[in-house]
Amino acid sequence: MDLLPLHPSTPQADGVPSWVKVIDQTKCIGCHACTTACKSENDVPVGVSRTYVKSVDVGTFPEASRAFQVTRCNQCVDAPCVTACPTSAMHKRPDGIVDFDKEACIGCKACIAACPYDAIFINPEDHSAEKCNFCAHRLDVGLEPACVTVCPVEAILVGDQNNPLSKVSQIVGREETQQRRPEKGTKPKLFYKGARQVTLDPLAATLPPGGIFAWAQQPPTDDHHINSGAPEGHQTSAAAAILSYDVPHNVPWDWRVGLYTWTKSISAGTYLVAALLVLMGVLDSSSTLWRWTTPIVALAFLGITGAVLVWDLEHPARFLYIFTRPQWKSWLVRGGILISGFGAVLALHLLGSLLGADALTRWLMVAGIPLGIGAAVYTAFLFAQAKARDLWQNPLLPPHFLVQATLAGSAVLSLAALGADDRVGDALGWTVFVSAAVHLVMIAGEVTLPHVTAHAELATHNLVRGRFARFFWAGVVTSAVALLAPIVPVVAGLIGLAGLLAFEHAYVQAGQSVPLA
């Protein structure tokens, strides 16, 4: 029946429920009724799914079997998508259901990058993020979710975990169940009974030849799609396990994210390096390089950064929601505030130069330097909120972004300082040299030290030897050329700047190149 078994005499019925879902994979027959019911109930377009049935063929004839997994949002207690969302479009209801508000979504895709289960997608019709929400509109009126209603073998159960008499509470409390990627610490409220590792682990099975499934074919892996399963040559965690059905997986952030980190590095680095030279007495605060070049270049590239950020949104007209309805735990919001504050300092710096107030430009460094550092490094914390991407969970990422900003800023200033005092040119050349050297050392540590997860190891493989190797090695070689900056500062600086862009692109894309579901 559709009606949930709750009534006033049931324990906890008067309180706020804690909805959980149990999927009994020992019963599931892989009929896909849950998928079609979900699409019909929630008007989900063709090409995307809130729920689907993944299947893996295990063993070889005559000892072969097929394992199923009903795959959807895990309704996490500590939902990373909620933390990452800048406008609270992804939010948690009092009953624990992680729901979404399409009208508040700006289409930044931070929630998709954050989800360790690849459960969120952008609706191709309304361009807002969505996912399974337990059919909250049905639960609110006492009905079961559509997938529960249509399952012919009662493999899908939903109920109140706070109610000790509910079936889900008894199964979760008394029987052995599994969760997907519990090491992420999200505390999923989707429990599997009798699930197999070959389906729970997205790298446990290999992709069939040509990506051809029983009823579908996945597009080839490119900058927009990730094929499921372990790539060719990768050691799987299960013998003779081949995916027989899965859905396409899309990359949330494209080349524009790498571009915006590069332009932001130039903006922040230009100001920070120039300010450092002024504080050291190498650059005079009345010089053209400090009064005009620094604020104009930094403002120009900060403006490009903002334009690229807005361009990357699915709803660019809603960009101001970051400021008008901020969710303060999101580093998109915090980063927006840092960039805005940094931009205000640069504007005041330019105004001070127009008024001939050199003292004002110097005093502005009190705010400008910390804001510049914040603008340079906040993306590392944004990437860290993407719990799905193991390559980005690096505690040295903030200082690495600061080093990259120093390299970018000193390279740009080297070009602008042509004909300036030799002391300034020499200082900039050596700054390019030192920052390029540190950048190379940090890259070496990133790719040579052992990685604690298979996902980080595979992402590093894709970075160094896989699809993004040409960009990665271009970035490494050109950064090595930047070491010649004390001899030919302008040429070496420009080459190093181009290499930094190549490295940023490779790093951002490689971090998203591992299948999650």
* pLDDT, mean of residues 243-255: 89
What's the confidence (pLDDT) of residue 15?
A: 64
Domains contained in the chain, CATH given: 19-250 (3.30.70.20), 255-510 (1.20.1630.10)
The enclosing H or E element of 21 equals: strand 19-24
What's the confidence (pLDDT) of residue 63?
A: 84
Q: Is the pLDDT of residue 232 over 90?
A: no
Pairing outcome for strands 52-60 and 19-24: unpaired
Specify whether the CB–CB gap between 189 and 19 falls below 8 A: yes
Ramachandran class of 162: left when φ > 0, alpha when ψ lies in -120 to 50, beta otherwise? alpha
What's the confidence (pLDDT) of residue 267?
A: 98
What's the confidence (pLDDT) of residue 139?
A: 93
56-68, pLDDT tens digit by residue? 999 888 888 899 9
| Burial of 283: CB neighbours in 10 Å, binned 0-12, 13-18, 19+ | buried
Looking at every residue in the chain, the average pLDDT score rounds to 91
Instruction: Say what the pTM is.
Output: 0.92
Pairing outcome for strands 190-193 and 19-24: parallel
**Rounded Cα gap, residues 120 and 143, in angstroms:** 24
Q: Before 62, cis peptide (omega within 30)?
A: yes
What's the confidence (pLDDT) of residue 7?
A: 34
* Alpha carbon distances (Å) from 347 to 136, 269, 292: 48, 16, 11
Q: Compare 61 and 97 and report the one with higher pLDDT.
A: 97
Q: Is the pLDDT of residue 164 over 80?
A: yes
Band (215; pLDDT cuts 50, 70, 90): confident
Locus of tokens 């840092």: 338
What's the confidence (pLDDT) of residue 13?
A: 41
Band (239; pLDDT cuts 50, 70, 90): low
List the Cα angle 186/137/184 in 5-degree steps: 5
Q: Is the pLDDT of residue 141 over 70?
A: yes
Question: What is the percent of the chain where pLDDT is above 90?
Answer: 75
322-369, pLDDT tens digit by residue? 999 999 999 999 999 999 999 999 999 999 999 999 999 999 999 999
Q: Is the pLDDT of residue 1 over 70?
A: no
What's the confidence (pLDDT) of residue 8?
A: 32
Q: Compare 284 and 222 and report the one with higher pLDDT.
A: 284
* pLDDT, mean of residues 157-174: 90
Q: Is the pLDDT of residue 5 over 60?
A: no
Specify whether the CB–CB gap between 248 and 388 falls below 8 A: no
Q: Is the pLDDT of residue 115 over 60?
A: yes
What's the confidence (pLDDT) of residue 388?
A: 86
**Rounded Cα gap, residues 231 and 181, in angstroms:** 19
Least confident range from 102-116, 149-163, 201-215: namely 201-215
- The phi, psi pair for 310, rounded to 5°, reads -65, -40
The DSSP-derived string for 102-154 is TTT-----HHHHH-TT---EE-TTT--EE---TTHHHHTTTBPPHHHHH-TT-
What's the confidence (pLDDT) of residue 236?
A: 61
For the record, the structure tokens of 396 come out as 């040295």
Least confident range from 274-283, 419-428, 437-446: namely 419-428
Question: Which residue in 63, 102, 24, 11 sits closest to 314, CA to CA?
Answer: 102
